[in-house]
């Protein structure tokens, strides 16, 4: 690496977890390629980073489009340099009951969440392998580890991301590249806020030992760690950042309640 400034490309970074991760990595001295399906959102986050003294470009990217991926990576590399860190944060949540789930919805979720993560990882991984160093951080979900009503497509896609992460870790590890996933729990983002009513929020939070919704900043800290030099021997893990939700299991036993 020498003294060259590290470069990170983040997908879905126009809002939510991706935006928070972009800001956190910038604070740690990383140059940022902010990409999002919405060009104006990507450019706004890049401008925010530059206003804070960081280095950033904002680029429109549809991760379901292989041609667009190649073009955006080429431009990011031309402006900032080789990509050292990839954060696959772009995601699509469609909540529909299993028996009524439209095939179009299924394919759309898979195209963004799974195929997009694969294509971006493959493109970034080639450059990382050539340089002998790299970090890939995939945003999965606890929905990829536990089923949820209406989440047949979303949950399955996130389980696939976990499997893909392990495959990347196995094949890219010998080339100096680590690949890890973060499984967020209930996080306050524009995408998730609309998926819950006040009643379901209360029920979910009753199962979270931390007794609060997570914030994008909680996930950004985990991203920054997995992207750091200090995580060089961390490879193929799924890090749950969920306030203890996955650990809790049965939250009530008889008359006892926590």
Catalytic residues: 154
Query: Which residues neighbour 175 within 8 Å (Cβ) at sequence distance 6 or greater?
Result: 128, 129, 132
Residue 12 CB-density burial (10 A; 0-12 exposed, 13-18 middle, 19+ buried): buried
CA distance 68 to 128: 20
CA distance 190 to 15: 8
CB distance 246 to 240 below 8 Å? yes
* Residue owning tokens 């893909």: 164
Closest CA to 178 of 209, 134, 237: 134
CB distance 37 to 60 below 8 Å? yes
Query: Which residues neighbour 225 within 8 Å (Cβ) at sequence distance 6 or greater?
Result: 231
| Helix, strand and coil in the chain, % to nearest 5 | 50, 20, 30
């Amino acid at each position: 690496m020498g003294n060259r400034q590290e470069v990170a490309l983040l997908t879905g970074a126009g809002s939510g977890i991706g935006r928070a991760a972009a800001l956190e990595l910038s604070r740690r001295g990383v140059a940022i390629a902010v990409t999002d399906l919405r060009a104006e959102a990507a450019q706004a986050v890049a401008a925010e980073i530059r206003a804070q003294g960081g280095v950033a470009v904002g680029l429109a990217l549809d991760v379901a489009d292989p041609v667009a991926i190649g073009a955006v990576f080429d431009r990011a590399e031309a402006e900032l340099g080789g990509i050292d860190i990839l954060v696959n944060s772009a995601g699509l949540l469609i909540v529909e009951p299993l028996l009524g789930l439209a095939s179009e919805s299924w394919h759309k979720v898979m195209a963004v969440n799974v195929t997009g993560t694969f294509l971006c990882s493959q493109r970034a991984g080639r450059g990382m392998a050539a340089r002998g160093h790299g970090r890939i951080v995939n945003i999965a979900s606890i929905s990829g580890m536990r089923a949820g009503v209406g989440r047949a497509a979303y949950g399955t896609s996130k389980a696939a991301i976990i499997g893909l992460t392990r495959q990347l870790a196995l094949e890219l590890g010998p080339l100096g590249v680590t690949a890890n996933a973060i499984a967020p729990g209930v996080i306050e983002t524009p995408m998730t806020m609309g998926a819950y009513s006040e009643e379901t929020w209360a029920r979910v939070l009753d199962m979270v030992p931390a007794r609060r919704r997570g914030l994008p900043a909680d996930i950004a800290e985990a991203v920054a760690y997995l992207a750091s030099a200090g995580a060089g021997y961390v490879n193929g893990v799924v890090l749950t950042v969920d306030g203890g939700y996955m650990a809790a299991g049965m939250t009530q036993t008889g008359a006892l309640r926590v």
